[in-house]
Amino acid sequence: MGRLFGTDGVRGLANAELTVELALRLAGGAAAVLAPVDSGRRRPVAVVGRDPRASGEMLEAAVTAGLTAAGVDVLSVGVQPTPAVAYLTAAYGADLGVMISASHNPMPDNGIKIFAAGGHKLEDSVEDRIEAVLQGENGSPARPTGAGIGRVRVAEDAVDRYLAHLASTMHHPLTGLTVVVDCAHGAASRVGPEAYEAAGATVIAIGAEPDGLNINLDCGSTHLEGLQKAVLEHGADLGLAHDGDADRCLAVDASGAVVDGDAIMAILALSMHESGELRDGTLVTTVMSNLGLHLAMKDAGIAVRTVGVGDRYVLEELRRGGFSLGGEQSGHIVLPAHGTTGDGVLTGLRLMERIAATGRSLTELASVMTILPQVLVNVRVSDKAAVANDPAVASAVAEVERELGETGRVLLRPSGTEQLVRVMVEAADDSHARALADRLAGVVAGV
């Protein structure tokens, strides 16, 4: 059996790769590692939530069965954003949390994300221990009987708790702002509009009618066209787009121009730097963030820590350094003072708060950084490890870096799942970036 856990939990085609049998066993393994039954203390508790996709119903039933069979009580919080499940895991003092979602993936897919106590994502070593249980390396999980079997309760106040948490992060009302919110027919369909309205904004919700089958369908953060059109039609100040589980937020300004995660991070970093909230004057982001973000932060006297692709690596660096802001170009923004994972609704609130507090438009705020053209070429190879050690490739990269100087950037990144090498070049203009990327791709393809 290959490694189950990817960069963000276990994910696959629901009822084919991600089956109810696997969900049942995975829940039991998580219980054995994170919430072992101990007769000398209270019964372990798990928070379980999901996004609205149809397969979430059967997978939630399987996860709940696996947890209760292991003697864990389940608090069912229903359809909630991923960051809400993480927050509620901490708020309820639970031993673990489980979110059933495939995030921005299409409806047929689903996934299982597991949080440790406090709502923190799992370290690799903990995931390995859970997989060892599934493989029978540590014997069979406990199977209590009678009164020892876990019970299931519905957490009636879950939505109100999460909304109150979001409201507590705000210091300036959003009165006067009109925002179009694309909820991707996903987990933000209720809490997103409610949170923005409670903060004082006038909200026009689209993509907020989930039927179990339409999640992420031509909407949300991966399909911004509908949001751009709606912002222009309604004359809104801005638009916000979430993905299926609402841990992402991208924006659109009043003209319909996209404001991506890099620009949002730039806006928030400057705001937090001014208020003294930006710990050690440092922003954490990934290697895929645009060079324009790095240059803007340098001009502002803000340091940038760069990590590998994936919000889990951003989270690890934030925790390691005690930093207060990090994220990805894709719209995963993490504010550790208010959450243990990316929170799209929180990001939207903080972005609009900056607009309201300064009286400046999103267009003006986003102009702090200039996005450099970024060209990405995927090159299929026979051995991606050989590419990394090839002298000709190293020489070609060095030559391009000399040519670009401080006006551009080169990144070669092997795919985590395929025999592909991703060649990324940033330069002052698109044609130059394209020419250099193609040149490097030719060298990589020849290895």
User: Which amino acids are annotated catalytic?
Assistant: 103
User: Which amino acid, 153?
Assistant: R
**Tokens encoding 302:** 């803000």
User: Do the beta carbons of residue 133 and residue 141 sit within 8 Å?
Assistant: yes
Strand ranges across the sheet with 374-380: 374-380, 420-426, 409-414
User: Do the beta carbons of residue 12 and residue 5 sit within 8 Å?
Assistant: no
Dihedral of the alpha carbons of 208, 213, 214, 217, in degrees to the nearest 10: 150
Q: Which residues, other chains included, contact 433 with Cβ-Cβ below 8 Å and sequence gap of 6+?
A: 372, 373, 374, 375, 408, 425, 426, 427
- For residue 62, give the 3-state DSSP assignment: helix
State how far Cα 29 lies from the chain centre.
Answer: 24
Distance, in Å, from the CA atom of 298 to the CA atom of 284, rounded to the nearest integer, reads 13
**Tokens encoding 94:** 């639970």
Burial 87-124 (b: 16+ CB within 10 A, else e): bbbbbbebbbbbbbbbbbbebebbbbbbbbbebbbbee
Helices (H), 142-276: 158-168, 191-198, 225-234, 261-275
Distance, in Å, from the CA atom of 117 to the CA atom of 208, rounded to the nearest integer, reads 31
